[in-house]
Structure 1
């Protein structure tokens, strides 16, 4: 996966960061026995997924054909090297 740039996009980083914050909030409220805060944290987790999806739609994610282009580059490099 190191050669595929999997997940190294602004959309991926933003979505995962928001979801991680929501996970931490939800976990903290679970420990404090506050159901409303727990569910609010899970809402933030879902929001992270939505934000990542919207950013991908705006062109900030990895292109769909990028794996094909990377495979072609590898083949070209293998032939040359």
Structure 2
């Protein structure tokens, strides 16, 4: 998928960053043997997903249909790969 813009949006970056922080929190509290902190980290991971979807719905994500077979963007990608 050379030239793909998959995931290069503010919604994707924000959602993944929040989820990564949640995984780090959860991992740290796993090592510290604190179940409450572990579950709090997993809640942060879920919040990252919700924030990413909300930002995408607000127009900060990839446009609908972009990159799907038959779309103008997909045709440009194929043409650039073939040349």
Calculate the TM-score normalised by the size of structure 2: 0.85
Greater share of residues in helix: 1
SS state of the match for residue 2, structure 1? coil
8 Å CA contact 1:4, 1:70 repeated in 2: no
1:13 aligns with 2:13: yes
Task: State the distance in 1 between where 2:78 and 2:32 align.
Answer: 55
Unaligned ranges ≥5, structure 1: none
Unaligned ranges ≥5, structure 2: none
Once the two structures are superposed, the pairs formed by residues 15-30 of structure 1 within 5 Å of their partners are 15-30=15-30
Residue aligning to 1:56: 56
Instruction: Quote the RMSD (CA, aligned, Å).
Output: 1.8
Instruction: Flag as ranges the 4+ runs of structure 1 deviating above 3 A.
Output: 74-79
Task: State the distance in 1 between where 2:25 and 2:53 align.
Answer: 22
Specify whether residues 13 and 78 from structure 1 end up closer, same or farther in structure 2 by C-alpha distance, changes over 3 A only.
closer
Task: State the distance in 2 between where 1:17 and 1:11 align.
Answer: 10
